[in-house]
Each structure stands twice: as C-alpha cells, then as structure tokens.
Chain A
Amino acid sequence: MRAFDYLRAQTEGEALAAAGQDGAAFIAGGTDLMPLWKAGVAAPGLLIDIGRLPLAEVTARDGGLVFGATARLADIADHPEVRRRHPAIAQAIEASASGQVRNMATLGGALLQRTRCVYFRSGITPCEKLEPGSGCAAVAGENRLHAIFGGGPSCVATHASDLAVALVALDAQVRLRSLAGERVLPLTALYLPAGESPARETVLVPGEMIVAVEVPDAGGRSLYLKIRDRASFEFAVVSVAVALEVADGRVQSVRLAAGGVGTMPWRLRASEAALTGAEAGEAVFRAAAGLAADGAQPLAHNGFKIELLKRTVLRALVQAGDQT
C-alpha cells in the first residue's frame, strides 16, 4: 500500500484544481477505492475528498430527476419521487452491496467502480487494465463471470454496477465538469469500449469529475431484475433493467439494458426494436427476449449467460407488462 496525501476540498473549484495533478483521485464514499488501494491495484498519490461539497442532493423537477454525484445510494433509493417515477433505480440500488455500503457509496463512485474481474482485483499481471500490453488472463482462464458482449482478446471484464444498468435503460445523462468547462453526455457515452485500451474505461480526462446525473421522466413502468449466485450482497451474474410503456395493448416504448454480460452496461437494441409497436403479450415478449443475446461472444465458461439473459429479459418484460 502506497501512502497518499489527503485534501478535503472546501469548494468544487479547489477540488478540480487539485485533480489536475499526476496521481490525484477523488474520494467520496471510498467503498471501491479503499479495497483497491489495500490490494495494491490503485496507488493514488493524492486523494481529494469531495464528500463535503454540495453535490449530494436528490432533486425531483418537472420533467426529470437530478442526482448530485455524491448522493448516497441509500438516499437515492429512499427518495419517494425516485420510487414513484423510476422504481428500477431504487430496485437496482436495493439489490446492490450491503446496507453499510449503500450508506457510504455515492452515485459517481457507483458509475466509476472498477470491474470485479478476479484477475484484475488480484493485482497480478497479465492484465491489460493493470499493465497495458501484458495481455488478459481471463480469456483463456476462469471466465464464468466474464463478458459475452464487448470483450476481445485484450479484456473480457464486465462492468459491475447495478445502478448504471438501470440508468442506461432510462436514458440518463451525465454532467461532467473541469476547470475547462462543463459537458453533458448520454451515460452510455461515458463508457469506452474495451477495445484496444482496456485500462481507459471512460471518457473522463484528468481533472474532470462527474457532478450530476439527470434522468428524464417517462411513461409506463420500470423495473430491475437481478440474477446472482447468492440471494444478497453479491454482484449480478445477469441483470436486466426494463422501462416499458403499453397503451391499448401495444408497446408504445420500451428500453432494455443488461448487466453482468457486457464490458459496459449493455442496451439490448434488437429486443427493443422487436417490441416497439407490437402487441404486448408473452408471445411477443418471448420472441424479443430471444434476440437479447444476438452478437454474443461466449467464452469457455460463460456460455450459459446466453440462455440466462434471454430468460431474464423475458421475466422482466412479463413482470413489467403485468404492472402497466
């Protein structure tokens, strides 16, 4: 464990200015960074504590919800307007981690948490995220929990966040700020494909931070369904977030995203296309779910995720259909 310096930022400007230094990292909850630091996987030189900045609010406006980047996961899940407008967000959080971790972890940290790939977390190379050019141990190793979408010979690690999957399904936008200014991106555009440089996971540049996530209101009903190896305090093997709007027996709009299967939260566009405008019912849901794994590239131990994903999509659609 490399010693680091600590700065409690009093203002956002102070935090952003300090973040330009080599080796600087933000800390707010600490629930992901601290274990990575103890394992020697993360070795920051300076931790900038942004936990006291006024970025923790959950705000319900006409037209959408706004979450500050340091909003605690428990506070987001408990907010009555989150539960009313987008149950999938509350369900994704309540299916995440433990009560203690949900009280500590923040929205921004949840989006930026590192993969649960055991090779990466062990801190031992080969691992392209740890040491670019070293290769990937999981491709030919133990890969039951690895990605069937978005991976390649350099990396097959999944993105671990439940909340990010729900937010991607709900077309959330992420607001980034640096001393150079502000930009707003679709959450899907925050993440980079594993591709050639798995060590670079997001479009964030040094000195830039997530300040907020905005979720537009939508009709219909959303839910989050998570399948895991044990009933609680476990990451997803496969998860699905669905936002479904049905009118006059037909699917007006549907958005589907999956977790546990991709190198980033994965939108299921083929299934969405098959559902939009179609009659809402089990036959159509089943056909659409059958397309959920199109393009999947299974590894030696995770081929079961193809069937599991299809069944999880089907169950999520049936449950959402029953609620609309």
Chain B
Amino acid sequence: MTDPSREPRALTLRVNGVDHSLAAEPCATLLDVLRDGLGLTGTKKGCDMGACGACTVLVDDRRINACLTLAAMQEGREIVTIEGLADGEDLHPMQQAFIAHDALQCGYCTPGQILSAVGLLAEGRAVDLAQVAEQMSGNLCRCGAHPNILAAIAEVAGLRA
C-alpha cells in the first residue's frame, strides 16, 4: 500500500544563486536533498542530529544545520553551500585561510567549519577570540584541528591569534 505522504512533491530550492526544481518527499531534510537530490555532496552528514555541525550551510546569510530542517521549509530562501563559496577559481578568503593554517586533517568537518565561520562573521559575532571559540562550539573536529581552525578564522576576522 502506498502512503500518500511518501509521494514526492515539486519543490524549488535556490542554492548558490541558482534555482533548482526537483521532487522530494515531504519528510526529506534539506541535507538529504542537497546531497542526494542535487548532488551537492560537499555538505556532509555527520551525526544527522544537529550535534556535529558537518552539515552547516547558510540560509539567508545565517548558518543553520541542514539536517534539522526540511527541504520544503527552505523554499524561497537563499541557500549557500561550500560549492558556492569560491568565486570561480578564486577561493573564498576563509577557504584560503583554512589552507594557510592547516586547519584540517581528514577534512570531513571542513565544509561545515568554513560555512559556520563565514556565518559567524556575517552575523557580526567575531568580536574576540574567546567569542569565536564559543561561537564555533557547534562544529566538532574529531581530528582535533580546533586550534588551527580558530587561527584561520582569527586571521580573516582581523583578530590577534
């Protein structure tokens, strides 16, 4: 027996400046639609429970956990993923800073770390190093690159590391 609520529905998501029309189940998360529907696998699935931050994306310039929201809830919003951060071949300053400070090891958490860092700067919350550390607590790095991540953010934010 088919469950009518399982039937995919038409949905338009604006991701990295481009409108994408697709079909998704009503209960599909934004994370699953980005990865499986649009093939934008830069956004990572870590815990899928809002605890690790690997799925962080920007929605209307604010960082959110893509695993905690439904794709249907984000219709009409401006969504930015790691794929949309660089300007052609020119990396975003935060991406460059992560490379310069060796702010990663395995790299799995890195897209979420970078989006969260870009978001906290856009939100005006990078007032000092302690605040940056506090504001990054929603992004875990199991390799333990946190000191280098903070150094990278501090450089872009113009804070003394």
Q: Are A6 and B125 in contact (CB under 8 A)?
A: no
| Stretch touching chain B among A29-37, A169-177, A201-209, A286-294 | A29-37
| A-B pairs under 8 A by CB, number | 100
Residues from chain B with Cβ under 8 Å of A8 in the complex:
72-73, 75
Alpha-carbon distance between A49 and B76 when the two chains are bound, in angstroms: 14
Q: Are A100 and B70 in contact (CB under 8 A)?
A: no
Kindly state whether residue A3 has any CB partner on chain B within 8 Å. yes
Q: Are A4 and B63 in contact (CB under 8 A)?
A: no
Kindly state whether residue B134 has any CB partner on chain A within 8 Å. yes
Kindly state whether residue B43 has any CB partner on chain A within 8 Å. no
Residue tally, chain B, CB below 8 Å to A: 36
Alpha-carbon distance between A3 and B25 when the two chains are bound, in angstroms: 9
Interface string of A89-107 (1 = CB under 8 A from B): 0000000011111011000
Interface size class of A (residues with CB under 8 A): 20 to 34
| A-facing residues in B121-144 (Cβ within 8 Å) | 123, 125, 133-139
Interface string of B1-39 (1 = CB under 8 A from A): 001111000000000000000000111010000000000
Residues from chain A with Cβ under 8 Å of B137 in the complex:
98-99, 231-233
Interface string of B113-125 (1 = CB under 8 A from A): 0001001100101
| Chain B nearest Cβ from A51, distance in angstroms | 6
Q: Are B29 and A3 in contact (CB under 8 A)?
A: no
Nearest CB to that of A44 among chain B residues? B27
| B-facing residues in A120-139 (Cβ within 8 Å) | none
Kindly state whether residue B86 has any CB partner on chain A within 8 Å. no
Q: Are A30 and B73 in contact (CB under 8 A)?
A: yes
Q: In the complex, which of the residues A1, A27, A99 contacts B138, with contact meaning CB atoms closer than 8 Å?
A: A99
| Chain A nearest Cβ from B14, distance in angstroms | 16
| B-facing residues in A171-210 (Cβ within 8 Å) | none
Q: Are A99 and B135 in contact (CB under 8 A)?
A: yes
Nearest CB to that of B137 among chain A residues? A232
Q: Are B125 and A99 in contact (CB under 8 A)?
A: yes
| A-facing residues in B38-95 (Cβ within 8 Å) | 48-50, 53, 56, 62-65, 67-70, 72-73, 75
24 residue pairs of the A-B complex, CB under 8 angstroms, read A3-B5, A3-B27, A5-B4, A6-B5, A6-B27, A29-B69, A31-B50, A31-B65, A34-B29, A35-B50, A38-B49, A46-B5, A49-B72, A98-B50, A98-B139, A99-B119, A99-B125, A100-B53, A100-B56, A100-B64, A100-B119, A103-B62, A104-B64, A231-B134
Nearest 5 Cβ contacts at the A-B interface: A98-B138, A232-B137, A6-B26, A5-B5, A233-B137
A sample of 15 more A-B contacts (CB under 8 A), given A97-B138, A98-B53, A231-B137, is A3-B6, A4-B5, A4-B26, A6-B26, A30-B68, A35-B68, A49-B70, A49-B73, A51-B73, A98-B138, A99-B119, A100-B65, A100-B138, A103-B64, A232-B137
